[in-house]
Structure 1
Amino acid sequence: MAKLEIEKDTLTLTGAAVASATLVGLAWLMDALRRDRWARQMHRKLVDLLLNALTADDPVTARHSRRVADLTSVLAGACGGLSRPELATLRVAALLHDMGKIDDRFFLIVHSRKRLSEEQRAEIKHHPHLSATILQPLEEMHPGIQKIVSSHHECWDGSGYPCGIGGHEIPLAARIIAVADVFDAMTQPRKYKGPMPVEEALEKLDEGAGHQFDPRLVALVESGPVLAQWTQIALQGQRDEQDHLENPNPTERAIEHVAAEV
């Protein structure tokens, strides 16, 4: 009888220990989840902060960056081969790929209506490296983001900048951004040019396939689902840009005033 009582007590103590350990584990998990949510909230605020800084300095580039992020998300989804964290890194890289252009030395180059001189062309090639430097604090949460941003002007045939790498040496995310970046630049209106029709922009991408761009990505852009969404993004962007051209905000008016004198 005494032995049975001891066994009951032992089972009770064991159950209490298990329950206690479970509660401790749940408490740790809840705390970890709270800390993870806080970290993700702070991450979003940091990205928003950087985007706001870009918008305040150059709203045209900021709108371009948002469209490029949307275009890359569509293309990456069709491309496959990227994990969920890699897709998140790609989107942040696309949003912030031109952060380096906030440097004052690029202002007149970015907003000039005249043909760039050789010196200016050489100078603007520094912006991918500067973008990567600015984004260094995001590297821990988004491994590889600096390499992606610094490589978005590299070319498939190795003729790009800043490092002259080519083919699969260029991160896939950077290759995706490169196609989206050029497509958006061609299809959106500016004070000094009208928008290029989507069909003509596709012809330009075709011409660059295998030279400037990864040919597989260009082929995916021309596939039905991707093309339909890219066309929708381009047309909405044209409406937005035209509205801003007709009703510029104070920053855009100031930029236009300076650009007219350059």
Structure 2
Amino acid sequence: MNLDSSIFNQVMGNVYTAKSNGLNSRILPQTKPDSLFSKTNPLETKPPTQALFLTQTLDVKSVANSMIKIIDAKDSYTGKHSKSVQKYAGIFTKMLGFSDEESEFISVGSAFHDIGKISVPESILNSNSPLTNEEFEKIKQHPEVGCKILEGMPAFSEVASKIVRSHHESWDGSGYPDNLSGENIPTGARIVAIVDSYHAMTSNRPYRKGMPTDEAIRRLGNGAGTQWDPELVKEFIKISPMI
């Protein structure tokens, strides 16, 4: 069995488990949603406690690529989006001065951030029109499903709880699934939230054309302090010409 088949079987087993457990009740993360890095300075870093798994137990890039292939097989946009978000996150964390270990941790989380969409019906993922409220509620389950999928792979439990689960939280507490706010949102998730949103805004979809980069930057600036970490938005705007 090759790596792609092995990962696919593991993921689908975990999707089944997540669905069997039900997502109407709250799924709590295995680890406390503390910031991945220092709370006193959002740009001051410290190594994540499980970071050594990246080089000690798995060829992480191969696993990440296999995960993206699984997503791409169901929804080609999400697969391409995950690759772009991973690329942007890598550039952003390097420019912020994160260590290679820290950058790779966030890179892995960014590659996996939408893995939960594998449980969303293709009719919703590939819709040619804006989502209905009911469809959006199903989409909103993907951070919890993605977290549950990766928690079933112990090596990725910290990526699951610190990035995948929390990448749709908002700085003002209005996000989902846990309504975390400010520095209670893990730093890795705050970074992925910005690059995820930037790529989504600038991408073409069947029902709309991607917006110009300067408009996307303007919207990020307007949402700083409400949807996104204001300090990280400032830093992203500085490096956005390199994206």
TM-score, normalisation: structure 1: 0.67
Matched, 1:86 2:102: yes
Match of 1:200 in 2: 215
**What are the superposed Cα offsets for residues 172-229 of structure 1, whole Å, 9 maximum, x if unpaired?**
0100000101100111112222221111111110111000000111111221xx1221
Match of 1:20 in 2: none
Cα distance between partner residues in 2 of 1:73 and 1:156 = 22
Shift of the alpha carbon at 1:47?
2.5
Shift of the alpha carbon at 1:50?
1.6
Distance 1:37 1:64, change over 3 A: closer
Aligned length: 190
Query: Does the Cα contact within 8 Å between 2:146 and 2:160 map onto a contact in 1?
Result: no
Matched, 1:182 2:197: yes
Query: Does the Cα contact within 8 Å between 1:100 and 1:131 map onto a contact in 2?
Result: yes
Shift of the alpha carbon at 1:87?
1.8
97, 102, 127: which one aligns with 2:142 = 127
Cα distance between partner residues in 1 of 2:66 and 2:172 = 36
Shift of the alpha carbon at 1:74?
1.6
Distance 1:138 1:229, change over 3 A: farther
Moved more, 134-143 or 84-93: 134-143
Question: Sequence identity, in percent?
Answer: 34
Query: Does the Cα contact within 8 Å between 2:75 and 2:126 map onto a contact in 1?
Result: no
Matches within 5 A, 1:131-150: 131-140=146-155, 143-150=158-165
Query: Does the Cα contact within 8 Å between 2:146 and 2:165 map onto a contact in 1?
Result: yes
Matched, 1:161 2:176: yes
Shift of the alpha carbon at 1:97?
0.6
Cα distance between partner residues in 1 of 2:155 and 2:203 = 34
Distance 1:59 1:116, change over 3 A: closer
Matched, 1:61 2:78: yes
Amino acid at match of 1:130: V
Task: For structure 2, list consecutive stretches of 5 or more residues without a partner in the other structure.
Answer: 1-53
Higher relative contact order (CA 8 A, sep 6+): 2
Cα distance between partner residues in 2 of 1:112 and 1:55 = 15
TM-score, normalisation: structure 2: 0.72
**What are the superposed Cα offsets for residues 51-82 of structure 1, whole Å, 9 maximum, x if unpaired?**
211121111111111110111112212334x4
Distance 1:152 1:146, change over 3 A: same
Query: Does the Cα contact within 8 Å between 1:51 and 1:96 map onto a contact in 2?
Result: yes
Query: Does the Cα contact within 8 Å between 2:86 and 2:107 map onto a contact in 1?
Result: yes
Structure 1 stretches of at least 4 aligned residues deviating more than 4 Å after TM superposition:
none
Match of 1:227 in 2: 240
Shift of the alpha carbon at 1:135?
1.5
Match of 1:249 in 2: none
Task: For structure 1, list consecutive stretches of 5 or more residues without a partner in the other structure.
Answer: 1-35, 231-262
